[in-house]
């Protein structure tokens, strides 16, 4: 089903109590959600959408969707694919419309008003979802289609959609007895509120901290560009003449890399990794314990041993054991490499006369020093060549050379925030593909990280192709009064990564929204994003977009070669913190009895059990692990590495024939990017590659084997 239907929360009011006076509130001509967006490209009218429009639009959407479901059930004709499955996939367009915009805003541009609406509407949406998936009459029609001999004559895409809906109903508890269904509803509602609370706590805790520096000597080691941004941040906060560093990654990361003041590095890093673990009103530990225990109870109700077993049934990995096996295989290479890197850093500290043992808040700083020693490369040398707009245009150019598509900025459409830019995507024949919104700068009302989403998902509606409208959100370096936004290597890679997701959404060509675009298995969805990263620093591509912001000079060959040589630098550290987080996620969701111990104790037992060295902090400590407690990656964070097996192998096809080889790109577009979940992902991959993926390429890319 559509993504909004998977929201769950604690019931605050019943649906029947909420839906009164819906039509008078909504259909008076003033609510922009009342009809399809009037823009010919399907763009949301952000200049008209106000906070007060969401609640009535949600309620009217639920009412309309419920009526559509009733019509399917009451259809006097025998159940068939078109009048049951396709009709179900087609239903709920109003609710999808408002949900897509609202939940994009609660992530990228929220405030107390939107948070209150989210807290109110989440349980209502949960109840609505359960009313659909626990509807026995509706399931009876779907099952009749599923069991009918005629279903064998469906197209592959139709079979996939039918199977998906059938499984969704079964996995949602349709076969449970009444008392268990009622308990399931209660669990779903409570989990939704916990999910919302986790995210709100994390945003508040992130925004509450600031490191204020008023002594210029405490800025020692920091590049001028970093100092300038900190000064601009201080001005915004009313602290003129000082410098402010926050828990936004573009702020804390360069401070850890370059600040000579070790005590301040420690203070900032500890504030970052202790978020929501401070025993205050924003503490997430109780939320985590309740969440994992409720997820276990729900899995048991549905007949699964653990939440991980439940989640992974509908993935490429299929079982937690297979996912853990991949992680264990990589861990065998990552941990020794991380230990080797630790020893190198300690040797560097000792050589400088340091009388202390390397700590986690030292790693970034001394790794940058080691980069200079080993490769004669300071990452700050590179930043002037990575102007945000140029990097974005580089990603556009790669897509043009691979798939023939072009991007043109649209300046005459409303946006939800002044920094957002909008581009129309066109195919090689000039035909319209879709539209992408780019929202790249951090702000207090935006959560950390980077992500892709849809305002409008690609589908076919009433025989007409519906073009996608997608968005990329990031938290990249802010421009200053003296310089544009200049990115570091990690941010460049992130931009290409999220744009890969956007291409997956834009280039979709499916008939049904339930299987279109990025509506694929969690451990397959990262293939398009991660393969796109491979072009970011390829020498041929760097020459296209990496130009000095002052002179316009193309990045010199010497720096390009240094980037190439440092491709596997610090991979022990980066892989160890990533794999450790993936294992922690699976362990949280592989519990077979309720967790009673303290959250941090549980976490420490897991990390100590795999031998994570104390000098490395897991990429996401549990209290701020939003992927799994505020997102859709519970028992699925391993997906980044599972997909990396695919993307490393897939890019090898381009390496063999040329990174812009038209035939290879055409095959990737036709077999991967355009297909969504319209066929089995393993089948789609085999059609592209002609073979199963070779995991050795992942290990080679990370420098673990030759």
**Catalytic annotation, residues:** 498
What torsion do the CA atoms of 396, 399, 405, 408 make, to the nearest 10 degrees?
A: -10
> What does the alpha-carbon distance between residue 94 and residue 4 come to, in Å, rounded to a whole number?
12
DSSP 547: B
- Strand-pair category, 464-466 with 459-461: antiparallel
Exposure string over 440-464, b if 16+ CB within 10 A, otherwise e: bbbeebbbbebbbbbbbbbbeeeee
> What does the alpha-carbon distance between residue 311 and residue 520 come to, in Å, rounded to a whole number?
14
Residues sharing a CB contact under 8 Å with residue 540, sequence separation 6 or more, in sequence order = 659, 660
Burial class (CB in 10 A: 0-12, 13-18, 19+), 618: buried
Residue 446 contacts residue 473 (beta carbons within 8 Å)? yes
Show the DSSP H helices in 427-556 as ranges: 489-506, 526-536, 539-545
Torsion sign, CA atoms 444, 448, 452, 453: negative
Beta-bridged to residue 97, according to DSSP, are: none
> What does the alpha-carbon distance between residue 411 and residue 209 come to, in Å, rounded to a whole number?
36
Exposure string over 682-691, b if 16+ CB within 10 A, otherwise e: eebbeebbee
Other CB atoms within 10 Å distance of the CB of residue 666: 13
624: helix, coil or strand? helix
> What does the alpha-carbon distance between residue 517 and residue 188 come to, in Å, rounded to a whole number?
26
Q: Which of 484, 496, 493, 471 is nearest to 396 (CA)?
A: 496
DSSP 703: T
Q: Which of 394, 409, 434 is nearest to 39 (CA)?
A: 434
Q: Tell the residue number behind the tokens 């390496």, with chain if given.
A: 655
Q: Record the tokens describing residue 673, joined without a space.
A: 């990017």
Q: Record the tokens describing residue 580, joined without a space.
A: 């450790």
E strand or H helix at 452:
strand 451-456
> What does the alpha-carbon distance between residue 689 and residue 322 come to, in Å, rounded to a whole number?
22
Question: How many Å is the Cα radius of gyration of the chain?
Answer: 25
Residue 420 contacts residue 43 (beta carbons within 8 Å)? no
Specify whether the backbone of 42 is left (phi greater than 0), alpha (psi in -120 to 50) or beta: left
Euclidean distance between the first and the last CA atom of the chain, given in angstroms as a whole number? 44
């Amino acid at each position: 089903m559509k993504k909004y239907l998977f929201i769950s929360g604690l019931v605050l009011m019943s649906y029947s109590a909420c839906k009164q006076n819906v039509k008078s509130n909504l259909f008076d001509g003033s609510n922009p959600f009342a009809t399809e967006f009037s823009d010919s490209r399907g763009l949301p009218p952000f200049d008209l959408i106000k906070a007060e429009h969401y609640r009535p639009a949600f309620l009217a959407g639920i009412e309309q969707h419920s009526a559509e479901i009733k019509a399917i059930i009451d259809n006097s004709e025998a159940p068939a694919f078109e009048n049951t499955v396709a009709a179900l996939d087609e239903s709920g367009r109003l609710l999808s419309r408002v949900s897509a915009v609202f939940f994009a805003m609660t992530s990228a541009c929220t405030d107390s008003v939107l948070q209150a609406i989210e807290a109110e509407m989440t349980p209502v949406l949960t109840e609505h979802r359960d009313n659909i998936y626990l509807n026995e009459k509706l399931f009876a029609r779907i099952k009749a289609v599923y069991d009918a001999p005629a279903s064998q004559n469906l197209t592959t895409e139709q079979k996939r959609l039918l199977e998906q809906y059938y499984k969704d109903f079964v996995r949602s508890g349709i076969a449970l007895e009444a008392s268990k269904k009622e308990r399931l509803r209660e669990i779903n509602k409570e989990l939704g509120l916990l999910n919302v609370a986790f995210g709100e706590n994390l945003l508040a805790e992130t925004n509450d901290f600031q490191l204020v520096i008023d002594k210029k000597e405490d800025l020692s080691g920091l590049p001028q560009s970093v100092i300038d941004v900190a000064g601009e941040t201080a001005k915004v906060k009313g602290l003129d003449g000082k410098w402010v560093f926050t828990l936004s990654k573009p702020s804390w990361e360069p401070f850890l890399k370059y600040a000579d003041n070790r005590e301040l590095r420690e203070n900032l890093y500890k504030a970052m990794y202790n978020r929501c673990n401070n025993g205050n009103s924003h503490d997430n530990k109780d939320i985590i314990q309740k969440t994992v225990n409720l997820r276990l109870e729900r899995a048991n109700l549905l007949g699964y041993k653990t939440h991980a077993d439940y989640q992974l049934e509908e993935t490429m990995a299929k079982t937690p054991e297979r996912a853990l096996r991949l992680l264990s295989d990589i861990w065998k290479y990552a941990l020794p490499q991380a230990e080797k890197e630790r020893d190198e850093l300690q040797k560097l500290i000792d050589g400088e006369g340091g009388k202390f043992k390397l700590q986690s808040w030292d790693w970034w700083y001394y790794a940058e020093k080691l980069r200079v020693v080993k490769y004669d490369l300071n990452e700050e040398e590179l930043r002037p060549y990575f102007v945000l707009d140029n990097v974005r245009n580089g990603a556009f150019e790669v897509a043009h050379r691979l798939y023939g598509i072009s991007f043109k900025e649209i300046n005459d459409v409303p946006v939800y925030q002044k920094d957002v830019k909008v581009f129309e995507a066109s195919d090689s024949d000039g035909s319209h593909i879709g539209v992408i919104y780019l929202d790249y700068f951090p702000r207090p009302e935006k959560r950390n990280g980077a992500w892709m989403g849809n305002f409008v998902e690609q589908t076919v509606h009433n025989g007409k192709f519906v073009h996608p409208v997608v968005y990329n959100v990031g938290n990249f370096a802010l421009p200053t009064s003296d310089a544009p936004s200049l990115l570091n290597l990690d941010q460049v890679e992130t931009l290409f990564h999220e744009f890969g997701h956007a291409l997956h959404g834009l280039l979709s060509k499916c008939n049904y929204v339930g299987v279109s675009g990025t509506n694929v298995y969690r451990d397959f969805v990262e293939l398009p994003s991660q393969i796109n990263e491979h072009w970011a620093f390829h020498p041929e591509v760097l020459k296209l977009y990496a130009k000095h912001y002052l002179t316009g000079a193309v990045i010199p060959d010497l720096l390009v070669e240094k980037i190439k040589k440092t491709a596997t630098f610090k991979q022990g550290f980066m892989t160890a913190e990533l794999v450790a987080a993936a294992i922690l996620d699976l362990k949280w969701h592989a519990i077979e009895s309720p967790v009673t111990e303290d959250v941090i104790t549980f976490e420490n037992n897991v990390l100590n059990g795999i031998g994570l060295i104390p000098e490395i902090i897991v990429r996401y400590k549990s209290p701020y692990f939003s992927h799994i407690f505020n997102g859709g990656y519970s028992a699925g964070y391993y997906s980044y590495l599972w997909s990396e097996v695919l993307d490393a192998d897939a890019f090898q096809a381009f390496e063999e024939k040329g990174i812009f080889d038209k035939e290879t790109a055409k095959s990737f577009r036709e077999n991967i990017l355009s297909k969504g979940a319209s066929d089995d992902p393993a089948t789609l991959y085999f059609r592209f590659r002609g073979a199963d993926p070779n995991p050795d390429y992942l290990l080679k890319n990370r420098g673990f084997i030759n």
